[in-house]
Amino acid sequence: MIETRLLQQFIAVAEELHFHRAAIRLHMAQPPLSQAINRLEEKLGFVLLVRDKREVRLTAAGHAFLQGAYQTLQALNQGTEYAREVSRGLAGKLTVTALSIVGYGSLLNTFRQFKTTFPKVQLVIKEMPSLHQAQAIAAGEADIAFMRTLPIASSFLTSRLLLTEDILLALPIDHPKGVDKDVDLRHFAEDDFVFTPQALGSGYHQQLIALCEAAGFYPRVAQEAAQLHTLIGLVAGGFGVALVPETVAQSVRHDSVMYRKIRPLSPTIDTRLGLYATWDMRNDSPLLARFTSMLDFSETSAS
């Protein structure tokens, strides 16, 4: 393998076409430079320079090798520079997973802020179910996940509560029980419900079911929709009512749909939903550190 020092020495001679001047440029003496070029030619097995009649010229192969030497040093410098920027958290890739970014409210602002602050950073957002998110974090395929639930305890995973929000009931604007500012969920036991599919939310989905069960009924699921705007569309179309987080209600609006707060059933049943950020504590990505420092966590934390 040819050392970069040798490439630099060859470049100097090839550019100066004069061993003495090249040696000066390299801050060394002429004889060892001659020896170095000889070594290089020896290693390569073909002649790079012709030294005759008081002049040094490049051979065709020498010219081709010079181009290769330039490209090699350029690749080295660019690679080094890029790695340095990555080490400073100014370049690289940050992979974020989330259930559905629609409705994550302030999180979208953080994404926007991050992208403008670090324009060289590639911010990849992948939407996937909670279970896949946890796997992606564990496998190192993603840097940070935003889930509705705390993942199964792992010594390497860190989770922090980002925000808590009310669960709202979405109902058609002409629904007879939606006259008040807030509603009693028990009055909707006989209503049809529209839900996201089980797989999409896992813990999130279970929490909504649990809320209904606390109100004394198991919801009759009339229709399922993976996309939140489809879900709200179905509510508007009269297919049923739906339970949605507050931030979703803020971003997914519909003329024929109104959102109502749920009156607390008892102090033990939580009508609020958490949003958790989860990452691998072994992940030393400077970008992750910069990203998490931009998030404002709820004072209550979890590991």
Residues that bind its own copies (CB under 8 A): 1-5, 7-8, 44-48, 50, 57, 59-65, 67-69, 71-76, 78-80, 82-84, 86-88, 91-92, 282, 284-287
Phi/psi of residue 8, each to 5°? -60, -40
Q: Which of the choices its own copies, DNA, none does residue 216 contact, using the CB cut-off of 5 to 8 A by kind?
A: none
In whole angstroms, give the CA distance from residue 296 to residue 162. Answer: 7
The residue count of the chain comes to 303
Which positions from 51 through 70 interact with DNA, judged by CB under 7 A?
51-54, 56
Choose between 165 and 280: whose C-beta lies nearer to its own copies: 280
Nearest to 272 by CA among 280, 264, 284: 264
Under the criterion CB under 7 A, does residue 9 sit at the interface with DNA?
Answer: yes
Which of 2, 24, 25, 34 forms a contact with DNA (CB under 7 A)?
34
- Please state the closest distance from residue 51 (CB atom) to its own copies, in A: 12
Q: Which of the choices its own copies, DNA, none does residue 20 contact, using the CB cut-off of 5 to 8 A by kind?
A: DNA
| CA neighbours closer than 13 Å in the CB half-sphere of residue 271 | 21
Under the criterion CB under 7 A, does residue 160 sit at the interface with DNA?
Answer: no
- Residues pairing with 35 in the sheet: none
In whole angstroms, give the CA distance from residue 115 to residue 88. Answer: 16
Cα-Cα-Cα-Cα torsion 293, 294, 295, 301, nearest 10 degrees, comes to: 20
Under the criterion CB under 7 A, does residue 48 sit at the interface with DNA?
Answer: no
Which of 4, 11, 15, 32 forms a contact with DNA (CB under 7 A)?
32
- Please state the closest distance from residue 67 (CB atom) to DNA, in A: 21
Q: Which of the choices DNA, its own copies, none does residue 86 contact, using the CB cut-off of 5 to 8 A by kind?
A: its own copies
Nearest to 192 by CA among 248, 237, 246: 237
In whole angstroms, give the CA distance from residue 193 to residue 170. Answer: 10
Phi/psi of residue 297, each to 5°? -80, 155
Helix 60-87, helix 4-16: angle, nearest 10: 130
In whole angstroms, give the CA distance from residue 52 to residue 257. Answer: 90
- Please state the closest distance from residue 89 (CB atom) to its own copies, in A: 8
- Please state the closest distance from residue 281 (CB atom) to DNA, in A: 13
Choose between 2 and 150: whose C-beta lies nearer to DNA: 2
Q: Which of the choices its own copies, DNA, none does residue 9 contact, using the CB cut-off of 5 to 8 A by kind?
A: DNA
Under the criterion CB under 7 A, does residue 18 sit at the interface with DNA?
Answer: yes
Q: Reduce the secondary structure of 40-60 to three states and give it as a string.
A: HHHHHCCCCEEEECCEEEECH
Choose between 34 and 251: whose C-beta lies nearer to DNA: 34
- Please state the closest distance from residue 102 (CB atom) to DNA, in A: 41
Choose between 16 and 127: whose C-beta lies nearer to DNA: 16
Q: Which residues in this chain contact DNA in the complex, by CB under 7 A?
A: 5, 9, 18-20, 27-32, 34-39, 51-54, 56
